[in-house]
């Protein structure tokens, strides 16, 4: 412990930590809430499919939403009871919008499903990953990325370090601290699961040096378990708990924005995630609760083990919010947000609820113009230029914000924190990012619509052509039949319709279509000719002399007609569509594309 060489990340700030308030009391279990509303979509990736219906009785730990893909994680009933609603319910989201939830009325018995612990070492890595997904194990540090999808090493780069994040750098939040103090042995067992899946050379547990009790507890647990994990104290500097920052501090590696950390031979998990992974495999308990710090403007700040789905207002009431509380912040003061709807449920990403009061968070004086002092750039842990991004975001010049790498911004709030002009920089960045995402969605939709539109036009065109060809064939066959059967009168009339039909066909504007048509016509004529040739001998068998005379007459007239046709073919301008019967009259308006 401590002998390791540490690296530094750029920037960072030191806000008042405000952690002492909530660490004096041990973790307590929050009482069973009156209702639990479990959002189906609680992790990055897909939205789990609901498995229950209104009226169903569910048991604690029963899967109620099944992962709908690889990057997705199941959700479970946090307690036993009756499903009251499967539908829209307040979301733990800055928008205040609703989201798909399973709302359960607890029956008070808190009765578990049958829990089975598995010896994961007897399973294949694939099976372990599937199990983690079906147990709903996701990153509890705030990013809620499905953990199983992070447990595969890169094929080409050997895994060097597994970084375990116990830094907990955000002010006010102490749930990871208490978890490590009280449940270190199980955190270590969870880390071993990730270690076994990824097989790194080293395991480094990073804990900010303002949590010596947690670090000591972890070191002891590591030793007791006979593991070779290193517990490393890192300097307290916000945002040391950012995955990229902690990786940098512990390994010296910079993970570029466009790369996965496994491509650099390193991976990072939060301590609470490791804990839930162990509870899932070792105890058969899916992720149905988590530790939440209740703090801020409350009588008794403390950490609670809270069922997912517990209404936030009901939960905060346990800690005794003071009279002037006027809101709830989910997360910390740097990266959290004011919850628009107090009954919104605790989700897997909820690590802390802070009772907000004007005294605790005095409203800032109005924003002043940027004086280009550069303080924001100095503290930015991602070496961005916040004032430039701000300038362009403010002017809604989103292309430029992207040139300044706005998507590398982790919204840590360091820049806003130091800005002497009190500019809400992060708000401008969030605004710009969501506008860019919306534009990208629109663009994708428009491109898809364009492709399908062109496809449909092409198809319509083809169908029209096929129809034309069919009509041409039918007409040619008809004409051939007529010619074969007809007697003298037929011969006289035969030329007329051909010429009459010739005119409309001349209007076709499309060269390609015309060429295709010509080919079709030629083919049709060939076939008609062949048919005629075949038909003739049959017709002339066993004929009476009078009939033979008739046939001879017809042949003679035909020869004359053929001569006329030949002369006309030599002057196509005069009769542009020699193949009249093949050109359907309704084909004049082929759409020009």
Partner 1 sequence: MLIAIAIMALGAVVLGAALGFASVKFKVDGDPLVDKIEAILPQTQCGQCGYPGCKPYAEAIAKGEADINLCPPGGAEGVGKLADLLGREAKPLDGVEKPPQVALIDENTCIGCTLCIQACPVDAIVGAAKQMHTIVESLCTGCELCLPPCPVECITMEPIQETVDTWKWKYPVVELKRVA
The footprint of partner 1 (CB under 8 A) covers 41, 91, 93-95, 97-99, 327, 329, 333-334, 336-338, 356, 361, 363-364, 366-367, 396, 413, 416-417, 424, 427-428, 430-431, 433-435, 437-438, 441-442, 445-459, 462, 591, 593
- Identify the CA nearest to 48 among candidates 77, 6, 16, 15: 77
Is 97 one of the binding residues for ligand SF4 (CB under 6 A)?
no
Q: Which is nearer to partner 1, 79 or 416 (CB)?
A: 416
Is 393 one of the binding residues for ligand SF4 (CB under 6 A)?
no
- The listed partner (ligand SF4, partner 1, none) that binds 448, CB under 5 to 8 Å by sort, is partner 1
Phi, psi at 111, each rounded to 5° = -85, 125
d(CA 259, CA 548): 90
Rounded to the nearest whole angstrom, what is the least distance from the CB of residue 355 to partner 1 in the complex? Answer: 13
Q: Which is nearer to partner 1, 447 or 586 (CB)?
A: 447
Q: Which is nearer to ligand SF4, 256 or 420 (CB)?
A: 420
- The listed partner (partner 1, ligand SF4, none) that binds 455, CB under 5 to 8 Å by sort, is partner 1
In terms of C-beta density within 10 A (0-12 exposed, 13-18 middle, 19 or more buried), how is residue 252 classed? exposed
d(CA 171, CA 208): 12
DSSP letter (8 states) at residue 289: E
- The listed partner (ligand SF4, partner 1, none) that binds 415, CB under 5 to 8 Å by sort, is ligand SF4
Task: Return the half-sphere exposure (C-beta side, CA atoms, 13 A cut-off) of residue 357.
Answer: 13
DSSP letter (8 states) at residue 13: B
What own/partner pairs with CB < 8 Å and gap ≥ 24 does 87-90 have? 89/37, 89/39, 89/345, 90/37, 90/341, 90/343, 90/344, 90/345
268 annotated to bind ligand = no
> 150-174 burial, b if ≥16 CB within 10 A, otherwise e?
bbbbeeeeebebbbbbbbbbbbbbb
| Binders of ligand SF4 in range 419-448 (CB under 6 A) | 419-421, 423, 425-426, 429
Q: Which is nearer to ligand SF4, 438 or 500 (CB)?
A: 438
414 annotated to bind ligand = no
d(CA 280, CA 274): 10
Is 413 one of the binding residues for ligand SF4 (CB under 6 A)?
yes
409 annotated to bind ligand = yes
Contact pick of 387, 392, 404, 428 for ligand SF4 (by CB under 6 A)? 387
Q: Which is nearer to ligand SF4, 145 or 390 (CB)?
A: 390
Rounded to the nearest whole angstrom, what is the least distance from the CB of residue 380 to ligand SF4 in the complex? Answer: 3
Is 246 one of the binding residues for ligand SF4 (CB under 6 A)?
no
Question: Alpha carbon of 425 to those of 232, 398, 409: distances in Å?
Answer: 33, 15, 11
Is 410 one of the binding residues for ligand SF4 (CB under 6 A)?
yes
CB atoms under 10 Å from CB of 73, counted, come to 32
Residue numbers at the binding site for ligand SF4 (CB under 6 A):
370-376, 379-382, 384, 386-387, 390, 409-415, 418-421, 423, 425-426, 429
* Binding residue positions for [4Fe-4S] cluster: 370, 373, 376, 380, 409, 412, 415, 419
């Amino acid at each position: 412990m401590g002998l390791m060489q540490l690296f530094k990340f750029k920037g960072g700030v030191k806000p008042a930590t405000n952690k002492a308030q909530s660490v004096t009391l041990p973790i307590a279990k929050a009482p069973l809430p009156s209702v639990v509303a479990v959002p189906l979509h609680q992790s990055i990736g897909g939205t789990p499919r609901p498995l229950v219906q209104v009226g169903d009785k569910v048991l604690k730990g029963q899967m109620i939403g099944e992962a709908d893909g690889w990057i997705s994680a199941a959700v479970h009933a946090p307690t036993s009871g009756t499903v009251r609603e499967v539908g829209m319910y307040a979301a733990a989201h800055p928008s205040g919008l609703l989201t798909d939830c399973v709302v359960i009325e607890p029956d008070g018995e808190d009765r578990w499903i049958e829990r089975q612990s598995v010896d994961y070492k007897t399973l294949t890595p694939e099976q372990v990953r599937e199990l983690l997904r079906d147990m709903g194990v996701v990153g509890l540090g705030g990013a809620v990325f499905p953990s199983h999808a992070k447990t595969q090493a890169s094929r080409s780069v050997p895994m060097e370090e597994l970084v375990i994040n116990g830094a907990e750098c955000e002010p006010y939040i102490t749930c990871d601290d208490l978890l490590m103090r009280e449940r270190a042995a199980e955190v270590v067992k969870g880390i071993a699961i990730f270690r076994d899946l990824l097989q790194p050379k080293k395991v480094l547990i990073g804990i900010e040096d303002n949590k010596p009790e947690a670090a000591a507890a972890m070191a002891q647990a590591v030793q007791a378990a006979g593991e070779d994990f290193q517990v490393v104290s890192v300097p307290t500097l916000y945002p040391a708990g950012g995955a990229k920052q902690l990786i940098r501090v512990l390994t010296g590696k910079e993970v570029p924005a466009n790369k996965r950390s496994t491509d650099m031979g390193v991976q990072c998990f939060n301590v609470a995630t490791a804990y839930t992974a162990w509870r899932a495999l070792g105890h058969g308990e899916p992720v149905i609760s988590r530790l939440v710090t209740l703090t801020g403007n409350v009588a008794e700040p403390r950490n609670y083990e809270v069922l997912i789905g517990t209404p936030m207002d009901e939960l905060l009431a346990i800690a005794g919010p003071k009279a002037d509380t006027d809101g709830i912040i989910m997360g910390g003061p740097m990266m959290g947000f004011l919850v628009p709807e107090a009954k919104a449920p605790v989700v897997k990403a909820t690590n802390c609820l802070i009772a907000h009061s004007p005294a605790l968070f005095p409203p800032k004086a109005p924003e002043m113009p940027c004086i280009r002092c550069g303080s924001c750039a100095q503290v930015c842990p991602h070496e961005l230029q916040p004032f430039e991004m701000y300038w362009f975001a403010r002017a809604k010049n989103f292309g430029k914000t992207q040139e300044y790498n706005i998507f590398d911004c982790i919204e840590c709030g360091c820049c806003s924190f130091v800005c002497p002009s009190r500019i809400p920089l992060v708000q401008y960045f969030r605004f710009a990012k969501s506008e860019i995402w919306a534009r990208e969605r629109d663009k994708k939709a428009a491109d898809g619509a364009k492709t399908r539109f062109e496809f449909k036009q092409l198809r319509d065109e083809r169908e029209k052509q096929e129809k034309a060809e069919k009509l041409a064939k039918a007409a040619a066959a008809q004409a051939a039949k007529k010619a074969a059967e007809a007697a003298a009168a037929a011969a006289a009339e035969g030329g007329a319709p051909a010429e009459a039909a010739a005119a409309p066909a001349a209007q076709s504007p499309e060269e390609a279509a015309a060429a295709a048509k010509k080919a079709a016509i030629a083919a049709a004529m060939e076939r008609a000719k062949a048919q005629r040739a075949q038909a003739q001998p049959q017709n002339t068998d066993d004929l009476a002399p009078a009939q033979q005379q008739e046939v001879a007459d017809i042949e003679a007239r035909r020869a004359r007609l053929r001569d006329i046709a030949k002369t006309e073919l030599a002057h196509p301008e005069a009769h542009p569509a020699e193949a009249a019967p093949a050109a359907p009259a309704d084909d004049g308006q082929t759409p020009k594309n």
